[in-house]
Amino acid sequence: MSRSLGPSLPPDLLARLSQSDLPSHLGKAIPLITVDREGRPHPMLLSYLEVRAADPRTIRIVIGARSRSCRNLLERQTATLLVVEPDLTVYIKARASEGPFPVPDLADFALVVLTVEDVLEDAPGDWEGTTRITGDIRYAPVPSLDAPWARATLEALALTPGR
């Protein structure tokens, strides 16, 4: 059962998405759900490398500039990020508020700024007993933070767009 935590990231989630401890989250995926032109959910997977919370209300993401997800964000501006891990399950409902902006040194990618509108925390209901999430969504191999594309992604996420 989910409950709203309000229109901003709580401190623990802000810290997790701020990239302050990025190496410990590499290899984990974060689903991003947008809405396609037929009104259907459209999923894609991001890594913690491609997501950065700038503050409790602002999340920056780097995605394919010509992807359906980028087009959906441009056309409908709605997105939900899912953090589904053993210690935390939250759904971050957001609106694309800025972008897409080109990413220097990554011609096929774009930076999009999301404004957090609601954070929902999901936890088992009493009737579900000890049911819980036992693992996160993982990928391999884990990228090197020294790779040129990783450095360009991190640099883009650290910038304040339009300034």
Render pLDDT for 7-56 as a digit per residue (tens, 0 to 9).
999 999 999 999 999 999 999 999 999 999 999 999 999 999 999 999 99
The pLDDT value recorded for residue 162 is 62
Q: What is the pLDDT of residues 72-131, one digit of tens each?
A: 999 999 999 999 999 899 999 999 999 999 998 999 999 999 999 999 999 888 888 888
Helical H runs in the chain?
11-17, 22-25, 68-76, 148-158
The pLDDT value recorded for residue 125 is 82
Give the pLDDT mean for 57-74. Answer: 97
Burial (CB count within 10 angstroms: exposed 0-12, middle 13-18, buried 19+), residue 43: exposed
Residues 6+ apart with CB under 8 A from 78: 34, 35, 93, 94, 95, 96
What range defines the domain where residue 95 resides?
A: 2-125+135-158
> Domain holding 64: CATH number?
2.30.110.10
The answer to whether position 56 is within a domain reads: yes
Q: How many domains does the chain have?
A: 1
The pLDDT value recorded for residue 106 is 93
In DSSP terms, which residues pair with 24 in a beta bridge?
Answer: none
Q: Which two tokens stand for residue 140?
A: 């391999």
pTM, two decimals, is: 0.94
Residues 6+ apart with CB under 8 A from 133: 84, 85, 86, 89
The answer to whether position 130 is within a domain reads: no
Give Cα separations from 15 to 18, 63, 64, 79, 103 (angstroms). Answer: 5, 21, 25, 21, 24
The pLDDT value recorded for residue 110 is 96
The pLDDT value recorded for residue 163 is 54
The answer to whether position 40 is within a domain reads: yes
The answer to whether position 163 is within a domain reads: no
Q: What is the pLDDT of residues 125-151, one digit of tens each?
A: 888 888 888 999 999 999 999 999 999
